[in-house]
Amino acid sequence: MAEGSHLSAAQRELFERARRLGHETYAPLAREGEPGRVNRALLRALGEEGLLAHVLPAEGEGSAVELCLLREGLAHGCTEAETALALQGLGGYPILRRARPPVRDVWIPRLAAGEAVAAFALSEPDAGSDAAALSLAAEPDGDGFRLTGTKTWISNAPEANVYTVFARTTEGAGSRGVTAFAVPRESDGLSGEALHLLAPHPIGRLEFDGVVVGPEQMLGELDHGFAVAMETLDLFRPSVGAFAVGMAQAALDAAVAHVTRRRAFGRTLAELQGVSHQLADVATRVQAARLLVHHAATAYDGGVRPVRREAAMAKLFATETAQQAVDVAVQVHGARALEHGHLLEHLYREVRAPRIYEGASEVQREIIARELFKETA
């Protein structure tokens, strides 16, 4: 799976450990959780095994390669554990990197231990992929601000303990007029409700009714919140591809096991060229996706900034490949894969969202095209 001469023995060991924990430890905890709600027992288990500390290290920044290996390994055995780890990292990373020491020291130990839940509150009803169009208002209030507006499709909302919130501090300034804040759930004027999507993830809408934030809650500098968001997405976008690769590999493994056992027309399905060649194509695409993901992550860890083109290629190709891999696996399984509770029924629901969040496939193509033309110019 994550094998390769470019990986160290420690990295391969981390991957195998994540995959084993996903299958043996986290999958049972996921089954005990309530669909559409934060699974706090699962999150604490991720903290107890030290996996969250890889994403939110007490010192320094996280490794993109390690994050990708963790997400692929966990996704192979337990997509719920993968998602819990990724969302905790996404919400907590801006606090780790840009919070003032009093705020960072309060939240990072709790987040890394899985004792508190973080969320990344960027999307709005009219600002999804176009993050520069944010309209949640941050109006001056003494030496702080009052936040008024709506955030939606926010993972871990409304149950998270702390939100990384991006708000408009300067009107008409586009991406240059956004500021990030760490906002605790108990803040007066903050409310929310759960949303119900195709895959039963914890996700919801948040309403800010004059929520007061002080200057100590600012993440980074005034009007530089867009840079905070992009810094976080630069790290996490390639790892969305790793999540997709983990699901694609799980689907491929299930398909290969099935076609070698299932007989039709006097022979196994694996002996039918129409079946075996489809799986050969899927296997090739999965490995190519994995290498694109690792290439982008290695560039990030090597100090390349931004990794815009590499990350876009990795996310685009890996998520599109995962969709194809799961679809082919369902097709060769037949009706049994559509039964509620089947691995592929679960993956079929899970695999759709990554082609949309953290930049839809169309946005990734636009990024790649712009980088191409920039190089030509």
Active-site residues, by number, are 358
- Alpha-carbon distance of 140 to 222, in angstroms, equals 12
Please list, in sequence order, all residues whose beta carbon lies within 8 angstroms of the beta carbon of residue 18, skipping any fewer than 6 positions away.
Answer: 51, 69, 70, 72, 73, 74
Three-state SS for 180? strand
* Beta strand 162-168 pairing with 118-121: parallel
Pairing of strands 190-194, 203-213: antiparallel
Residue 242 dihedral angles phi and psi, to the nearest 5°: -65, -40
Distance (Å, whole) CA 61 – CA 324: 34
Which residue blocks in the chain are alpha helix, DSSP H?
9-21, 27-32, 40-48, 51-55, 64-77, 79-98, 101-112, 225-261, 273-301, 308-333, 343-350, 361-376
Residues β-bridged to residue 147: 138, 211
Amino acid at 347: L
Q: Which residues contact 354 (CB under 8 A, 6 or more apart)?
A: 240, 243, 244, 315, 319, 322
Its sign, for the CA torsion 152, 226, 313, 118, is negative
Joined together, the tokens standing for residue 241 give 């591809």
Q: What b/e sequence results for 316-327 when a residue is b if at least 16 CB atoms lie within 10 Å of its CB, and e otherwise?
A: bbbbbbbbbbbe
Element (H, E) at 198: none
329, 251 contact by CB (below 8 A): yes
d(CA 122, CA 327): 31
